[in-house]
Structure 1
Amino acid sequence: MGPEATCPRSWPLPRLRVRTWIEPVVASTQLASSLYDAGLLLVVKASFGAGASSNHSASPSPSPRDAPEDEQQRAISNFYIVYNLVVGLTPLLSAYGLGWLSDRYHRKISICVSLLGFLLSRLGLLLKVLLDWPVQVLYAAAALNGLGGGFSAFWSGVMALGSLGSSEDRRSLRLILLDLILGLAGFCGSMASGHLFQQMTGHHSGQGLVLTACSVSCAAFALFYSLLVLKVPESMASPSKALPTVDTVSGTVGTYRTLDPDQSDKQSVAGHPPYPGKAKPQKTIIALLFVAAIIYDLAVVGTVDVMPLFVLREPLSWNQVQVGYGMAAGYTIFITSFLGVLVFSRCFQDTTMIMIGMVSFGSGALLLAFVKETYMFYIARAVMLFALIPITTIRSAMSKLIKGSSYGKVFVILQLSLTLTGVVTSTVYNKIYQLTMEKFVGTCFALSSFLSFLAIIPIGIVAYKQVSWQQYGDVTEK
């Protein structure tokens, strides 16, 4: 009777754990996003193919020596300036509220609502292709996505679920694993995007129909999976690490030592006085992490926004399939960054891994500024192999300094900060690109390289404070 009584109890638990996996939602969402991003670029390019200046009244009047390619580049660039503004600013109206509701009521709120807006925006591109609407309708589609919380609310919700379902000593690996899933899905979508876009090319109104329909299908799957299948995991925080310290910032706990979970605890918080002149070290550490994340994100966003324009014009002049392959190359950093964290986390602290990633991206961006041939582009992308490590590791470090009940708010504040600065960066970089594309087309990439190396400074300060705090702990013990 004993085995028969225990057997029925053993089956539901594994099923429940499988349903807590957020990976299917991340994969399908990113697959839809990668298809949409490529489709958006190619649809906008086709819309501004001939007579770009007449189709886009906001573009400046071209000089007589301007080539049609330059006119098209300015038209596409001006479109993306407005589009990125809408995408970046509208989440400010709803993302924080969704994060607060997720912390207070249910963790899936921010994910499900953002996925609804995500699906509506993909439907907007599909309708534009089907009905041959003007490209300006895509601004409204982007606004619907932003009002649903956008990527800020979605990824903050994903990070919260990932942090809840992992222990502190494995959290960096857990979060970079989610980024790996994101990258693999994006790679597959980008590789297929150019081929899918070429389907039904015989009729102008049907160009890109298969691509956009696939994007909508993936977005719909992600929404319904999150609503009907996904379950919120129970917190795996260690009780021994849950002992509170000073509570200076709403939701912050622990000391700076939690940034390095692999080190043994040499002292307890209650047993030693706070660091001299810095009774609340976690507040300063969080602020420095915020600054580093924002500066580094400025470099990344600027490069990512300009790169599609860069590959469409001379000297590269890529076609649809090459554009898809180029986007796919960008997603390989998700794989290499995951492997990097897998190896580096065994021998380096979080701050060291962050700096490695920043050097990797800064070096690759500098090479990208001087690209003249397609093979040189892929070499520059290969140098960026650890570019994803900094932001993900910064999120992991922050999660070790705050309470689990505050994950939603803190993560969404970070993501909104990155989004807001990204909006400004997108506008500035597009204008810089327009002004410099005839003189030195790699100006934006050189600027990104400088910002990436600049972001190392606050991380270096964090590392110095870590060493100082550890030395003080050792002295106190003696």
Structure 2
Amino acid sequence: MGRVLLIEPAVGLYAFAMFMIYPLLQQYVYRRLWFELSGTTYPSESLSHCSNNHSYITIHQAVQKETSIFLLKSELCFLIPSLISTLLLVSYSDHSGRKVAIVPPLVGDALFALCYVLISRFSFSLSYLLAASFLSGLMGGPTTLIGGCFAYVADLCGEDPEGQKTVRMARLDMILGVLTGLASLCTGFYIKAAGFTWPFLTAFFLHLINLFYVLVVLKESLVLPNPGLSLSGPSAAKAPRLRQSHALTTRLQGVYLLFAASKRRRNVVLLLMLAAFAFFRVALQGGMSIFILYELNTPLCWSEVLVGYGSALSSAIYLVSFAGVALLSRCLPDAYIILLGLTSVAAGLIMAAFAKSTLLMFLVRLPLLLSIMPTPVLRSMMSKIVSGSEQGAMFACVAFVEMLSIGVSFTMFSSIYAATLSWFSGFSFLLAAGLTLIPAILICVTLCLRLDVYEESIILTEERMENTEIFELPP
């Protein structure tokens, strides 16, 4: 079933629905805790909760800390089951098709949004949100879906020219960013006009529409074998169950064999790339995850509309990063594009640490314009040095590392932000900027040791041709 080989609409719709919920989540929890701790509703005026009155300052700091701690608990409830689900679903998609890694996260996030609808409508306890986070993680979450989508693109690229895969993956990242910014912009006005329940309900219906597109419209990128051709008779009834069980065991082993059955040189390249990817995601996600709390804090005291403007402006980061990858990949090696992106991350986060006015906080997005470039380039570099049958296993590793990095960064930076809030709220940004040195060093190591990914891809192609000749039957 399915007629269209176009994954971009699914990614864009998912990004829009997901990032309608993400700013909603933080602001909803913030306002609920404000009510619980102060006994008063959240002030409608953007600056009234930032009064110089001592009691308001005390309440404000208490709400900031409690919100940070609650979001940390929610992230941990999501992280633990999602680590297992990510490895399982994305690697298993090598056998059963990429939709195996795309459909469950959509179902999980639809149920997650529905839980928020009920909690915001009937003012249930915030503890139920932790159960919703666990359920969403059990179904895979965003990294599983994104990992499946990137594997889908890798299937379609096949033996395309060298820069094609990098550009197409950068395009997916751009779609994620642009729709994310648009959703955040709409959310600010939506909250102001209709409260929290209707935006959560809208996100729920968007996930349902996306689920319909993936199941009915989207065509599978892998050509799956027909199980009815290999067996017949009474044993055919038991064959599907045995085959699925064997495939599951094989694909779980596939992640291990990705490293165990390959040459040492390729393993070194992959491990360095995965480590660089992990530390980059910790630095970027750790710094960006506290942007909204930082903007709600004194002296900025942004309203929900300003928060939406800021998030929407961040979509320019994805557009410029995509343009940067598309142009720079024609004249620069991948490693230098990554180093340029890391410099952009460090510069933007250092500027954010000292942003004390609304104008300066908006201008923070300028040095961050190239900060997304390392993500698609690193994915593309790793994809180029594994075979087509290993794409799912490789992207399962990337998705696992990404989810682990996001969990570690959120846990670490939420705790650090709560601890340093009283003396320097921008410390977390400086720490995140400092962490960009680690992936930069790892990339420099690949350059110094001449561990070139392009050469590895050529070696892989030659090995494929040799294997084809060996196993080719004589006429």
Question: Equivalents in 1 of 2:161, 2:349: separation in Å?
Answer: 33
Q: Could you tell me which runs of 5 or more consecutive residues in structure 2 were left unpaired when the two chains were aligned.
A: 41-53, 224-253, 456-475
Using the TM superposition, give the Cα deviation of residue 360 of structure 1 relative to its aligned residue in structure 2, in angstroms: 0.5
Q: Helix, strand or coil: the match of 1:67? A: helix
**2:200 corresponds to which residue?**
212
- Aligned-residue Cα RMSD (Å) equals 2.6
Task: Indicate how the Cα distance of structure 1 residues 280 and 248 shifts in structure 2: closer, same or farther if over 3 A, else same.
Answer: farther
2:202 paired with 1:195: no
- 2:466 corresponding residue in structure 1: none
Tell me the alpha carbon deviations over residues 290-336 of structure 1, each in whole angstroms, 9 at most, x when there is no partner. 11111111111211221111010101101111111122222321111
Residue of 314, 324, 334 corresponding to 1:350: 334
Counterpart of 1:458 in structure 2: which amino acid? Answer: L
Q: CA 1:155–1:140 in structure 2 vs 1: closer, same or farther (change >3 Å)?
A: same
- CA distance in 2: counterparts of 1:65 and 1:165, whole angstroms: 56
1:198 and 1:66, CA in 2 relative to 1: closer, same or farther beyond 3 A? closer
Contact 1:175 1:392 in 2 (8 A): yes
Task: Figure out how many residues of one structure are paired with residues of the other and give that number.
Answer: 409
Structure 2 Cα separation of the partners of residues 88 and 248 of structure 1: 20
Paired with 1:182 and 1:379, the residues of 2 have a C-alpha distance of 22
Which residue among 37, 52, 56 is the counterpart of 1:52? 37
The Cα offsets for residues 359-411 of structure 1, whole Å up to 9 and x where unpaired, read as: 10011111111001111112222111111111211110000011122222221
User: Which of 212, 221, 225 in structure 2 is aligned with 1:233?
Assistant: 221
Map 1:67-216 → 2, pairs under 5 A: 67-166=58-157, 167=160, 169=162, 170-200=164-194, 207-216=195-204
1:6 aligns to what? none
Residues 269-288 of structure 1: matches in 2 within 5 Å?
280-288=264-272
Pairing 1:36–2:21 present: yes
Please give the per-residue CA displacement for 1:150-192, whole angstroms capped at 9, x wherever unaligned: 1121111001001111225100000000111111211211111
Question: Which runs of 5 or more residues in structure 1 are unaligned?
Answer: 1-14, 56-62, 201-206, 236-246, 256-278, 472-478
Once residues 384 and 441 of structure 1 are traced to their aligned partners in structure 2, the CA distance between those partners, rounded to angstroms, is 20
8 A Cα contact 2:98 2:220, kept in partner: yes
Q: Judging changes above 3 Å, is the alpha-carbon distance between structure 1 residues 74 and 469 closer, same or farther for their aligned structure 2 residues?
A: closer
C-alpha contact (below 8 Å) 2:112/2:135 kept by paired residues: yes
Of 207-216 and 313-322, deviating more is 207-216
Instruction: For residue 364 of structure 2, give the secondary structure of its aligned residue in structure 1.
Output: helix
User: CA, structure 1 residues 214+65, in 2 after alignment: closer, same or farther (shift >3 Å)?
Assistant: closer
The alignment status of 1:309 with 2:293, answered yes or no, reads: yes
Structure 1 residues 328 and 253, CA gap change in structure 2 (3 angstroms): farther
User: Are 2:87 and 2:399, in contact at CA under 8 Å, matched by a contact in 1?
Assistant: no
| 1:418-451 residue CA offsets vs partner (Å, 9 max, x unmatched) | 2123222212211211121121111000001101
Which 10-residue stretch deviates more, 27-36 or 191-200?
Answer: 191-200
Residues in 2 aligned to 1:249 and 1:42: alpha-carbon distance in whole angstroms: 41
Report the alpha carbon displacement of residue 108 of structure 1 after superposing the two structures with TM: 0.8
Cα separation, 2, equivalents of 1:180 and 1:469: 24
**C-alpha distance in 2, partners of 1:53/1:424?**
31
Amino acid at match of 2:99: K
1:250 match: 257
1-structure distance, mates of 2:301, 2:165: 42
Q: Which letter maps to 2:168?
A: R
Deviations 1:1-52 (A, max 9, x none): xxxxxxxxxxxxxx94xx1100110011011011111211221122012343
Question: 1:336–1:385: 8 Å Cα contact kept in structure 2?
Answer: yes
1:26 maps onto 2:11 in alignment: yes
Q: Does 1:402 align with 2:386?
A: yes
Letter in 2 for 1:293: F
What is the CA–CA distance in structure 1 between the aligned matches of 2:142 and 2:453, rounded to whole Å?
A: 36
Counterparts of 2:196 and 2:190 in 1: how far apart (Å)? Answer: 7
Matched-pair contact (CA < 8 Å) for 1:248–1:283: no
Q: Provide closer, same or farther for how the CA distance between residues 463 and 54 of structure 1 changes in structure 2, counting only shifts above 3 A.
A: farther
Taking the aligned partners of 1:361 and 1:336, their CA distance within structure 2 comes to 13
8 Å contact from structure 1 (residues 52, 75) kept in 2: no
Identity %: 26
Q: Distance in 2 between matches of 1:208 and 1:249?
A: 44
RCO greater where, 1 or 2, for CA within 8 Å and sep 6 or more? 2
CA-CA distance at 1:453 after TM superposition: 2.5
Summarize the Cα distance change of 1:96–1:54 in structure 2 as closer, same or farther, 3 Å threshold.
farther
Which amino acid counterpart does residue 250 of structure 1 have in structure 2? L
For 2:257, what is the secondary structure of its paired residue? coil
The secondary structure found in structure 1 opposite 2:332 is: coil
In structure 2, distance between residues paired with 1:470 and 1:115: 35
Alpha carbons of structure 1 residues 287 and 467: separation in structure 2 relative to 1, 3 Å: closer
Write the letter of the residue equivalent to 1:335. L
Give, in whole Å, the separation in 1 of the partners of 2:13 and 2:19: 10
2:450 pairs, out of 446, 453, 466, with 466
Higher helix fraction: Structure 1 or Structure 2?
Answer: 2
1:217 CA drift (Å): 1.6
Conserved in 2, the CA contact under 8 Å of 1:344 and 1:353?
A: yes
- Name the aligned partner's letter for residue 439 of structure 1: W
Local SS of the residue matching 1:367: helix
Contact 1:124/1:138 (8 A) holds in 2: yes
Residue 156 of structure 1 contacts residue 411 of structure 1 at CA under 8 Å; is this kept in 2? yes
- Quick one: structure 1 residues 54 and 96, their matched pair in 2 at CA, closer, same or farther if it must change by over 3 Å? farther
Residue 346 (structure 1) shift: 0.7
Aligned to 1:453: 437
